Structure 1
């Protein structure tokens, strides 16, 4: 397209106009990927036989020339896909992938042309919710084609998206700043706090500019001060300039009401800016907000998306007349599906699975069920707290409230078997220098004369909104000082009392015990016990990426690993790497360090390694998964060679654990589901009917849902030297590990190594760990914000965990 059109939405509109208005006889029902590929069920009658140029005038965009050329690729057929589904091809070949992608386009094309979408899901305003702050929530539907043994499935689920609220730019800007109805308040100067908020919020947002006889849609690239006073250069021989206010009056007979407020910059180039007064602009409808939502809005999004299983299924299946029609009701009438000759079943499939037996949980010498009440248990191996300190950063808590909370917490710790010898509370508010606060905690609290040892634990009471302080606390504890920390928020302390406060303090107590190298409980099942008879290690691994649009921060690879004989104590390590690189670039050295640490603790080498990899998509199984498996093998060979071990190397099982998917299970008979939540019962495992044609995979719903519809985890057994691809014991070990997450008193949705890895990502975040040569962090320095990405700089400034914390589960 010339000029280039970046917006996928506009590219779709242009192709749709070609099909329906400018050249309908040529383009018929073509499928467009939104980028550069067009699929047609029959050869196109192009002017030059294989290519052609089409110039059209698009309302709101102007004149665009589209060049279409037939590529030399083969006609897409489904022969290889059928062989793949029936097991006659043992890998997903390029032809199989192309066929599956084409099926995706066919089912998605009709709704994606009608509604805002992200490619995989579309969203409608039916049932929308106002978020304030210039945003609203839309409901929608996810749909995806998935291969299964002998057939192709369409995965449909409800979805939700944050959207920019359409309307006058001035009104939306005031709402973003939480200002009521005073447009003149928008007369901000460049780089003021409000300016920066608005500039970030509206960057790349499309606005409609309404002028007499025409409306133009443009993208915001920046803001300007006092747009009404901005010099407007007229297109005449003398090159004279007018203030924007005078230009709009003379040219369009428009009088600007607010010439001193900010304006919108629409383009840059050749030293010239196109500036439009804000009062003439309207935020265009149907734009997704792709940045990270603030914490308060995230909870609203969760509530908006949360439905009991029976309601969720009802929304997916749908009924005619529903405010938001699901795709399942429109497949039969989609012109693209009809043109392809496809048929899609109207009802969801029914599968069969089994309920795994819950593991036994050992607390002390007693057993407990799969869900348990911690208040009746004595921890398996409670720790001794020689001294702990409290740093109080609360804004509203009275000292008597803090004392009552600490008394309850101490009682709960003692009741669980922990021995506390010295509790010290900082009564005075201190500066925000967390390092100094923790270092001086004992002295400032009035420790006994001659007692100069660091505290075993520093508990920090935070104000309600204190993300920066919490990050400083973790940096000081994990990296600088090497002391365990536990943060609690003042609003939680204030709102709980009686039995609720007791339960809250018990939950904190088990976290503290785990972070001090204590053991809360030990899970047991036949397959788990068989696995742990040999020396073993569990691994969890994942890569955390910077947020959308951030190009100058690295991705962080995290690996956690067990080092005790029960599989409940974990250590962790991390590395920075190129942004959005999914393969763990230094996995070999990280596994080498892990096995070495295991050897130092246990005096022997592991015989079995079970590796749980989070975060890989289906397209990365063969490539990234295979390479990482070889990295693990190489790390083992390196350890054995350096230590000169004669023992055989450990057997390795490498699994991928997927949780970012849309497969959901619903009990066919509600009486078979969980009595409270309506979900399928915890322990449900299934593969028959939905299994991948070439991978050994299964879905395990390991947790009992409390609110909403539970999401199972998807396990893909990529390599298996331990169980020889006997999936039953793998399922049992995975389910048992879902009961080994030390901070929970019920089973969780993924195995503990994967859960720990997800938790460790916060502690390993580049913003928390980066300290430059001057001692400045990312949060306190603008260096990393302005410079292009430099991996060597990040590696040199990325701080590793303090040696005192290596054996402690600071991430629990």
Structure 2
């Protein structure tokens, strides 16, 4: 399956200048890629590879990408050559609370790993080789010249596709130089341009890998060391070497030829592969071993079809004539047109020309240009450099008549120094190419249908993928003496006890039956909300705007829904003022644009002769642009809480749906529905009731694809603002472009505001004694940055608020990870055989020594439940292991907008919501001329280049009615 991509890369390197593809000049090589300046902690994702080919040093940030994950925080400190902090929390023991349950995991233990010494080599290339083209490097590595020089197949070598190689054989010299002539090996004549396809490979011995260091570490007799890192890195690559030669590899996943495709629409298809990754783990009997995590991988790929058909699919057009008309309308402002933006998703897609039967060349798309075949010209070498149109060239040379009006495709290859333009009609997308852009709503829906499988089906699929990997017959595993069990690990899990969950009123709470909590679902029928609205937010002056058009609601349907809403909300304890029983109802017109909200808001205000305190909008469909337009006006222009409803639900007018709407409305008006009371936590903690602040944080990045290197990332931070940890404040701001760490300024702004309010309203002006900081969305390699940058900044923030050094709170920092491949298959689960809420796993997949665990706190309605991986990386607050685990589980029952526990702690769940909602607050107005204020721009270095990208701050939320103090984001 990897063949087409390899052939394409090689073709781009080898195509002679006499090729009948038009263009001018010889092959233009890519400029040197400069190494990033060394940093102890990378602040951006995806650093580029340095141009220098110095031997790998893990202390260089760019070299860390070669490492496997699951080293733990100590392993990453060791990899960077830095001292491991004494404050790093270690596992305290296993939780004994609740009851025991057996859970099968999708991990497979390594029974045996090498004992003989393995030699590690650095691989570098001569200046004539473009080292950024990984497929080309693999092609050279697989050449006959290299294989003979390295003694293969007698001596098997492992190559990481970049600059590391390993062998059990030591070369008889410190550095080996190999010359590879790819033209000669493939029986090709040298190109007439004289540019030879010859490459130099330098293989230099750098170190030996002795497995005794890893053994000592696993036995607890030695800490992390460079030798351990080398060993884990080597074993991880050995695991992937065999599959990478048989299947299409995408990072740590492999996709087999012939898998059944699933059409997602828009020229994209999905099929299943296998994910496999090595990790050191703790066993149930206390041993530390290596294990392989195997899971089903779901990949999205471009459909192999004519490029013209793919373009129509992506644009949702029925025929080429519609495309031509769209191009003509977009030409006047091509560079800023939506069409060019949509077509940009084809960048780096490989295609093959098919205008000739005898020879076909492979190319890589760079962009689409607005010129068609009659407008674009080039110097034709067959006519002594005379300029000729693309249309005339194809007509004269191939007797092909190209279609007028279609934009041409500019490819990455240059000929004789000039760009090459090809017609869409005679290009076909090569098979098995990953689709890297964000799926649209329809494709996402289809992808969920494809990916979601029940636990028993997923477990069977995993076992089939284990058989596909065929470890017993893998020549590389056998060669290095590695033996892996094909039986999944079984862990002794714990089912944590559920808390009590009480609805209101607060002075006479009603408790949800424990059986409902164990099952993970309860009803709102007949229940009063625990905490009422804020006194100032009793609904009196409020309005309802029903947007007209297709699928819109009529006035009778609106009246019926509002009548039912008021009745049900009052039944839950909602309060309405004297005029609130009849809101102002008005129609809305999308043609009004941004004034739609203003008209409804002003009309409501005029009706009640007062500032509206709440607005409800009924929309016709799930159009995200309409939703964000409404939220932007309500949040930033008028400062009014708002609720958006779909017309189909208003028409259905069902009580259960309305009760769920009441949950959101009630939270936005200052109340909450239920609160948990722990029967276990008071018996665990011996602290004399210390005041605790809970902070959540998340940074969300733009979806991959065209333009993502110019768009903003968003940092959201939340803080519990009541003694029961139910209500939260949230603040959000742009955070550069793909900058993962929350910037210092954002922390000062967000935490400064919220901590000051917390101290004045909850603790009589005093700071908390403990802070529980739950951070989402960072990889293992960035844990240290959370401590050294974000936690440092938050502590500085308390100092700036006047808190004395000795009163700075003690921090406990927990990373909540959901992007992993661990799954639970309980011996006895719920009706779908998913884990019961509160299932805690601490062995079989966890770090051998560090303080981490997997917790499944929710019920999966569809598919296989994904537990959350929690890792405590700082514990100044001295949380006991069972105390922290129980707290995280119990708080999942307090999520204000659902009647079930949620998978992720609410602090970070709300940060997700706030980060997504604040996309509606983007400031898209052009920057005025003249001097910008300091706060008018945020600059960051992107992860894909060294350009400085300006990212605008968000529009500020209106301050007229204290919206920021509500749960505006739910």
The two structures have a TM-score, normalised by structure 2, of: 0.75
Partner of 1:609: 771
Q: Contact 2:380/2:388 (CA < 8 Å) preserved in 1?
A: yes
| CA contact 2:795–2:808 (8 Å) conserved in 1 | no
In the other structure, the counterpart of 2:610 is 453
* Alpha-carbon shift at residue 249 of structure 1 (Å): 4.8
Where does residue 120 of structure 1 map in the other structure?
252
Which residue, 490, 495, 505 being the options, matches 2:658? 505
Which of 264, 271, 284 does residue 131 from structure 1 map onto?
264
- Which range moves more in the overlay, 433-442 or 699-708? 433-442
Q: Show the counterpart of 1:621.
A: 783
Give the Cα separation in 2 of the matches to 1:684 and 1:60. Answer: 61
**Structure 1 residue 709 displacement after superposition:** 0.5
Equivalence for 1:559: 717
Give how far 1:88 is off: 2.9
Distance 1:314 1:685 in 2: 23
Give the structure 2 partner of residue 178 of structure 1: 316
Q: CA separation of 1:552/1:594 partners in 2, compared to 1, >3 Å: closer, same or farther?
A: same
Quote the offset at 1:651 in angstroms.
2.9
> CA–CA distance in 1 between the matches of 2:838 and 2:166?
44
Partner of 2:164: 37
1:203 aligned residue: 347
Query: Is 1:12 matched with 2:152?
Result: no
Residues in 2 aligned to 1:68 and 1:271: alpha-carbon distance in whole angstroms? 27
1:366 matched residue in structure 2: 510
Distance 2:633 2:948 in 1: 24
Match of residue 169 from structure 1: 307
From the superposition, tell whether residues 136 and 738 of structure 1 become closer, same or farther in structure 2 (CA, over 3 Å): same
Alpha carbons of 1:60 and 1:402: their partners in 2 closer, same or farther (altered >3 Å)? farther
- Correspondence 1:222 to 2:367: yes
Aligned residue in 2 for 1:750: 904
Distance 1:445 1:666 in 2: 54
CA distance in 1, matches of 2:458, 2:661: 34
Q: Aligned ranges for residues 543-622 of structure 1 at < 5 Å?
A: 543-549=699-705, 550-586=708-744, 589=748, 590-602=750-762, 603-605=764-766, 606-622=768-784
Alpha carbons of 1:75 and 1:129: their partners in 2 closer, same or farther (altered >3 Å)?
same
Kept in 2: contact 1:232–1:247 (CA 8 A): no
For residue 361 of structure 2, give the secondary structure of its aligned residue in structure 1: strand
SS of the equivalent of 2:741 reads: coil
**In structure 1, how many angstroms separate the alpha carbons of the residues matched to 2:701 and 2:341?**
23
- Alignment of 1:375 with 2:525, yes or no, is yes
- Do the aligned partners of residues 726 and 89 (structure 1) sit closer, same or farther apart at CA in structure 2, a change above 3 Å counting? farther
Pairing 1:674-685 to 2, within 5 Å after superposition: 674-675=830-831, 677-685=832-840
Report if the CA contact (8 A) 2:736-2:950 is conserved.
no
- Paired with 1:767 and 1:51, the residues of 2 have a C-alpha distance of 57
Match of 1:653 among 781, 791, 812: 812
Aligned counterparts of 1:588 and 1:180: Cα–Cα separation in 2: 50
The answer to whether the 8 Å contact 1:737/1:751 transfers is: yes
- Decide which of 249, 272, 296 is 1:158's aligned counterpart: 296
CA distance in 2, matches of 1:241, 1:688: 71
Match of 2:674 among 502, 521, 527: 521
User: Is the alpha carbon distance of 1:268 and 1:285 closer, same or farther for their aligned partners in structure 2, counting shifts above 3 Å?
Assistant: closer
d(CA) in 1 for partners of 2:436 and 2:906? Answer: 30
Matched, 1:662 2:838: no
Q: Deviations over 1:462-507 (max 9, x none)?
A: 231421121122222223321111111224334x35xxx2111111
CA deviation after TM superposition for structure 1 residue 44, in Å: 5.2
1:485 & 1:728 partners in 2: Cα distance? 40
| Structure 2 partner of 1:330 | 470
d(CA) in 1 for partners of 2:545, 2:439: 30
In structure 1, how many angstroms separate the alpha carbons of the residues matched to 2:294 and 2:482? 17
State the SS of the aligned residue for 2:755: helix
Q: Post-superposition shift, 1:765?
A: 3.4
> How far does residue 267 in structure 1 lie from its aligned partner after superposition?
3.5
| Alignment match, 1:54 | 180
In 2, distance between residues paired with 1:789 and 1:409? 54
Going from structure 1 to structure 2, the CA distance change for 1:435 and 1:181 (only over 3 Å counts) comes to closer
Structure 1 position 361, deviation (Å): 0.8
* Separation in structure 2 between the aligned mates of residue 184 and residue 593 of structure 1, nearest angstrom: 53
Tell me, what secondary structure is at the counterpart of 2:360?
strand
**1:731 pairs with 863, 878, 885, which one?**
885
Give the Cα separation in 2 of the matches to 1:601 and 1:94. 50
Match of 1:343 among 483, 501, 504: 483
Aligned residue among 698, 702, 712 for 2:857: 702
Please list, as runs of the form range in 1=range in 2, the aligned pairs for 1:78-117 lying within 5 A after superposition: 78-91=211-224, 93-117=225-249
Structure 1 contact 128–137 (Cα < 8 Å) conserved: yes
The answer for the alignment partner of 1:630 in structure 2 is 792
* 2-structure distance, mates of 1:339, 1:119: 23
- After superposition, the Cα gap between the structure-2 partners of 1:8 and 1:493, relative to the gap in structure 1 and judged at 3 Å, is farther
**Whole-angstrom CA distance in 2 between matches of 1:455 and 1:33:** 62
| Cα drift, residue 392 of structure 1 | 2.3
Does the CA-based 8 Å contact 2:528-2:573 persist in structure 1? yes
Q: State the alpha-carbon separation in 2 of the partners of residues 487 and 67 from structure 1.
A: 63
Give how far 1:16 is off: 3.2
**SS state of the match for residue 448, structure 2?**
helix
Q: Do structure 1's residue 142 and structure 2's residue 268 form an aligned pair?
A: no
2:538 matches 1:406? no
Distance 1:488 1:196 in 2: 33
Trace 1:235-250 onto structure 2 (pairs within 5 A).
235-236=381-382, 238-250=384-396
Match of 1:759 among 889, 893, 913: 913
Q: Is the 8 A contact 1:438 1:458 kept in 2?
A: no
Cα distance in 2 between the residues matched to 1:658 and 1:175: 35
Query: SS in structure 1 opposite 2:965?
Result: coil
Determine if the alignment matches structure 1 residue 689 to structure 2 residue 844: yes
**8 Å contact 1:328–1:346 — kept in the other structure?**
no
Cα-to-partner distance string for 1:162-218 (whole Å, 9 max, x where unaligned) = 110002222222333334465785473446768426522322211012345332211
Shift of 1:433: 5.8
> Following TM superposition, by how much is the alpha carbon of 1:228 offset from its aligned partner in structure 2, in angstroms?
6.0
Q: Distance in 2 between matches of 1:433 and 1:260?
A: 34
Q: Which runs of 5+ in 1 are unaligned?
A: 319-324, 776-782
Give TM-score scaled by structure 1 length.
Answer: 0.88
Structure 1 residues 208 and 376, CA, compared in 2 at 3 Å: closer, same or farther? same
Distance 2:239 2:340 in 1: 41
Distance 1:345 1:394, change over 3 A: farther
Structure 2's unaligned 5+ residue stretches are: 1-124, 283-287, 930-937
Q: Compute the displacement of 1:240 (Å).
A: 1.4
Residues 439, 185 of structure 1: CA spacing in aligned structure 2 closer, same or farther, 3 A cutoff?
A: closer
Q: Quote the Cα distance in structure 2 between the aligned partners of 1:51 and 1:76.
A: 23
Cα distance in structure 1, aligned partners of 2:602 and 2:424: 57
Once residues 64 and 493 of structure 1 are traced to their aligned partners in structure 2, the CA distance between those partners, rounded to angstroms, is 67
Higher relative contact order (CA 8 A, sep 6+): 2
Tell me if structure 2 keeps the 8 A contact 1:614–1:657: yes
User: Among residues 421, 424, 428, which one is paired with 1:275 in the alignment?
Assistant: 421
Distance 1:792 1:104, change over 3 A: closer
Contact preservation (8 Å) 1:358, 1:736? yes
Measure, in 1, the Cα distance between the counterparts of 2:341 and 2:523. Answer: 46
Cα deviation code 1:726-775 (max 9, x no counterpart): 21111100001111110111000011101111111112338635655559
2:60 equivalent in structure 1:
none
| Count of residue pairs the alignment pairs up | 781
Residue matched to 1:473: 630
Asked if the contact 1:554–1:578 (Cα under 8 Å) also holds between the matched residues in 2, the reply is: yes
- CA separation of 1:96/1:700 partners in 2, compared to 1, >3 Å: closer, same or farther? same
Specify whether residues 118 and 443 from structure 1 end up closer, same or farther in structure 2 by C-alpha distance, changes over 3 A only. same
Kindly indicate whether residue 879 of structure 2 is the aligned counterpart of residue 715 of structure 1. Answer: no
Query: Does the C-alpha gap of structure 1 residues 773 and 145 become closer, same or farther in structure 2, counting only changes over 3 Å?
Result: same
Task: Quote the Cα distance in structure 2 between the aligned partners of 1:772 and 1:411.
Answer: 46
